[in-house]
Amino acid sequence: MKSIREADVKGKRVLLRVDFNVPLSEGTVTDDARIRGSLPTIKYLADEGAKVIILTHLGRPSGIGFEADFSVAPAARVLGRLLGAEVLVSPEVTGEASQQMVDALENGQVLMLENLRFDPREKKNDVEFAAELAKFGDIYCNDAFGAAHRAHASIDVLAGMLPHYSGLLLDKEVEVLGAMLESPERPFIAILGGSKVSDKIKIINNLINIVDKMLVGGGMCFTFLAAQGYDVGKSIVEEDCLEDARNMLAKAAEKGVDIVLPIDFVVADQFSESATVAIRGYDEIPSDMMGLDIGPASCELFKSVIMEGKTVFWNGPQGVFEMKPFENGTRKVAEALAANKAATTVVGGGDSGAAIAKFGLADEVTFVSTGGGASMRMVEGCELPAIVALNA
């Protein structure tokens, strides 16, 4: 994979695929983290005198042409503010109007094409659509780590049609996650959570081959406890994953990997912020209550394990962190990660990224991945279509 820094971009039309799939509310961007994520690449290209043509998808339009609710214009306005320069927006994806705007670009100028998903061929990895996009550029650069697991036209076939390079954000993501998975400093500790085991079976199975210890909290730990015969009351259990859980525990034991489960919980009589709550041990969960967070003794235990690590990876909240009475476990894990300055600490995006930002600790860890789905695919040990295409 060649980094865009290796290309001579001056005066060249660079097709830059980014992930500006930002949340919108009434036409306003409510979280600009994804735009900021690719800002260094965009600035670099503009400063080097490239003609920058930005491609992104945004949300889930129906794929029948322009839909105002999914226009990239609000993202372009935010980008313009962050860059301190005008960002032009083409009224369509491919076509004559876009061609004219591309032809009129001057060195250092930035143009955004409309939402790629206005054209149904984007998601179909359509070769003709990619060829229409390729006409607009001399060089292709992919900085869309958040979309790197999708084999869509602007990510996959388009890369093969032009000299292709990775952007600075994609470089950083692949470097940090790749090093963590391939040559981690040990001990390597993984902390997993979230609601469902079924979503994380591949991740756990792959991590068992790599880590030294795995802490498992969140809703998914109850399937592991139930698999060992404990009564977990009304806590969330995936009955059809009990066998998988037993297999994972057996595989971990065989590999000498400790799977550490919580030893106590915050239990509640209902799934509600105003529930009656209590602290109970893992083997004394009342039959009419559910565990909605890990308890204080588990927080201490998890912290001590996290502090042992030289590499620490975290994915998945430890409790229902969206509700105040059940946010403590997730907060304590975030704090322990932030406190372990001797380790490379990596947060795997998605909910955990949102949680660490909520607690104001995002700058205290080594790296927060911008790509929830893409980073999870990497941790599962899968190849990402974007990276395969950039390596070809």
CA angle 286, 289, 292 (to 5 degrees): 120
Compute the distance between CA of residue 373 and CA of residue 348 in angstroms, rounded to an integer: 9
Range in contact with ligand AMP (rule: CB under 6 A) among 72-80, 89-97, 139-147, 191-199? 191-199
- Work out how close the CB of 220 gets to ligand AMP at its nearest, in angstroms, rounded to a whole number: 7
The catalytic position among 49, 59, 80, 373 is 373
Among 5, 196, 251, 310, the one annotated catalytic: 196
Total Cβ atoms within 10 A of residue 11: 13
Q: Which stretch binds ligand AMP (CB under 6 A): 247-255, 273-281, 313-321, 331-339?
A: 313-321
Strand partners, 314: 191, 347
**H/E segment holding residue 345:** strand 344-347
217 belongs to the catalytic site: no
Asked whether position 320 contacts ligand AMP by CB under 6 A, the answer is yes
Neighbouring-strand partners of residue 214: 190, 259
The residue from 137, 167, 309, 317 that contacts ligand AMP (CB under 6 A) is: 317
Report in angstroms how near the CB of residue 202 gets to ligand AMP at its nearest.
13
Using an 8 Å Cβ cutoff, are 349 and 370 in contact? yes
The residue number with the shortest CB distance to ligand AMP is: 194
Q: Residue length, the chain?
A: 392
Contact call for residue 322 and ligand AMP (CB under 6 A): yes
The only residue of 159, 203, 225, 292 in contact with ligand AMP, by rule CB under 6 A: 292
Active-site option among 217, 291, 319, 350: 350
- CB 305 → ligand AMP: shortest distance, Å? 19
For residue 294, give the DSSP letter. E
If one asks whether residue 219 binds ligand AMP (CB under 6 A), the answer comes out as yes
Binding segment for ligand AMP (CB under 6 A), chosen from 161-169, 190-198, 333-341, 377-385, is 190-198
Minimum distance from residue 222 beta carbon to ligand AMP (Å)? 7
Under rule CB under 6 A, which residues in 343-382 are in contact with ligand AMP? Answer: 351
Q: For residue 120, give every residue at least 6 positions away whose Cβ sits within 8 Å of its Cβ, in sequence order, or none.
A: 63, 64
| Distance linking the first and last C-alpha atoms of the chain | 8
* 3-state secondary structure (DSSP) of residue 280: strand
Based on the residue annotation, tell me whether 34 is a catalytic residue of this protein.
yes
Residue 14, CA distances (Å) to 118, 190, 279 in order = 21, 39, 57
Shortest distance, position 336 Cβ to ligand AMP, whole Å: 17
Closest CA to 386 of 227, 219, 153, 37: 153
Question: How many CB atoms within 10 Å of residue 28?
Answer: 11
Among 69, 86, 199, 284, binds ligand AMP (CB under 6 A): 199
Annotated catalytic residue 331: no
Q: Is 350 a catalytic residue?
A: yes
Catalytic annotation, residues: 34, 196, 350, 373
Q: List residues near ligand AMP by CB under 6 A.
A: 194-196, 199, 218-219, 236, 291-292, 316-317, 319-320, 322, 351
